[in-house]
Amino acid sequence: MKKISHLPLAIRLVCLLLALVVTSTSKFAWGQANVAPSLPSGSSGAAIQGFDPYSTAPQYGSVGPSYGGAPTYAAPPPTSSYPPPGSYPPAPSSPPANFSTGPSTFYPQQPQPLYQPAQPFAYQQPQQSYQIPYERFMENLAFEYTFLPKLSDEEDTLQIQDFEASVTALFPNFLFSEHPLLVTPAFVLHLWDGPSTMVQDLPANAYSAYLDFAWNPELTPRLYAELGFRAGIYTDFQTLNTDSLRLQGLAVGNVRLTPTMTLKGGAVYIDRLDTKLLPVFGLLWEPDSLTRFDITFPYPRLSKYWTTFGDKKIWWYVGGEYGGGSWTIHRYDFPTMDDVSDQIDINDYRVFIGLEATHPNRLRAYAEIGYVWDRNIIYRSSIPNLKVDDTVMLRLGFNF
């Protein structure tokens, strides 16, 4: 009798089983693809969006703060730089923990303080956020215009216009830490009109070109630092010498006293004729996600969420700053009736009120109006210094 082989039948049964498994797996995967990812704890009610590996906004919500047991502390805030305005929760444009809005504004060598960094302020919400796997290399492109007009035709008046542009590059994991190095090249055009005395004189324009480095390492869960270094050329390009090169530095320690309160202390080296070093001290208090009181000399700023207009979050704030800068210039010397090289400081104090709007696509815009007083022009040469009239200030800017 011929022996019957059951191998072909077994093969058919195995193939049939594989086909059933593949079909059921595909149906399960299709069902999963149509189910939104679950929200992390603490983000109930947050909008769910598709994951974008190139987005810099927090994705799938964030982990809320713990109110039971030991207090939780946030990662160190990004460089303020200052300096554009930072967004605040619950705005969807709130930046990730390692994002910075520009160079540190503790350097008051130019009319626009960079503590925001070039913008009013940047804020890290007091809670742990999900970190995204990718970050943009060019993190921030900013432009700012500042106008200090003449309020009279007196000879001791000075009009100033500043046009500033900057861009920030991010180098992650600097010195094997979890915190990036921020490198910001910037260029500023200064237009001056006045004074018109027969002794003091200024050129019509001057320039500031600098390279800023900022790093905010976290030393312990309660202690972090704000470190900065800046090298720049400040001149009218008619007089270019060793005094045109200015080196500045920043070292500020931050101690978290509570999850909502941080003590700040340190110093900033600004390398001017009249002032070389300024202390940095104060208190940062964030009682809730809609309020931020940064009571820190030399750039205090009190900020409060106002309203939402469309998809834009609107904040108002009041602040103060030590303004001005230092430049090498070529000026006309009236006693000798000849052109000479010199160096000047322009120093003043400013208070202002402003509005900031943030958009989910990272665009931020702000407008400020303020008052400027105790304005002085300091000369390196032997000619007398000059106190110019007080004025008002208008400042507009955006960054993305």
Contact predicate 79/122, CB 8 Å: yes
Evaluate if residue 34 carries a pLDDT over 50: no
Per-residue pLDDT tens digits for 307-322: 999 889 999 999 999 9
Helix (H, G, I), strand (E, B) or coil at 215: strand
- Mean pLDDT lowest for which of 20-34, 156-170, 317-331, 333-347? 20-34
Strand residues in 149-204 grouped as ranges (E): 159-171, 181-193
Structural domains of the chain, ranges and CATH numbers in brackets: 134-399 (2.40.160.40)
Evaluate if residue 20 carries a pLDDT over 50: no
The whole-number pLDDT of residue 277 equals: 95
The model carries a pTM of: 0.69
CA 97, distance to chain mean position in Å, is 13
The whole-number pLDDT of residue 197 equals: 85
Contact predicate 182/162, CB 8 Å: no
* Stronger pLDDT, 198 or 166, i.e. the higher one: 166
Query: Is the Cα dihedral 208, 331, 201, 276 positive or negative?
Result: positive
Mean pLDDT of the chain: 75
Interatomic CA distance for residues 343 and 217, integer angstroms: 36
The whole-number pLDDT of residue 3 equals: 42
The whole-number pLDDT of residue 110 equals: 35
Strand residues in the chain grouped as ranges (E): 138-148, 159-171, 181-193, 205-215, 218-220, 223-235, 245-258, 261-269, 277-288, 291-297, 301-309, 312-333, 338-358, 364-379, 386-388, 391-399
Evaluate if residue 188 carries a pLDDT over 70: yes
Per-residue pLDDT tens digits for 235-294: 999 999 999 999 999 999 999 999 999 999 999 999 999 899 999 999 999 999 999 999
Evaluate if residue 341 carries a pLDDT over 50: yes
Per-residue pLDDT tens digits for 68-117: 444 444 334 333 333 333 322 222 223 333 333 333 445 543 333 333 33
Query: Is the Cα dihedral 105, 107, 113, 114 positive or negative?
Result: negative
| pLDDT-based confidence at residue 199 (cuts at 50, 70, 90) | confident
- Burial class of residue 82 (count of CB atoms within 10 Å of its CB; 0-12, 13-18, 19+): buried
Buried b (16+ CB within 10 A) or exposed e, 123-134: bbbbbbbeebee
Residue 241 identity:
N
| pLDDT-based confidence at residue 177 (cuts at 50, 70, 90) | confident
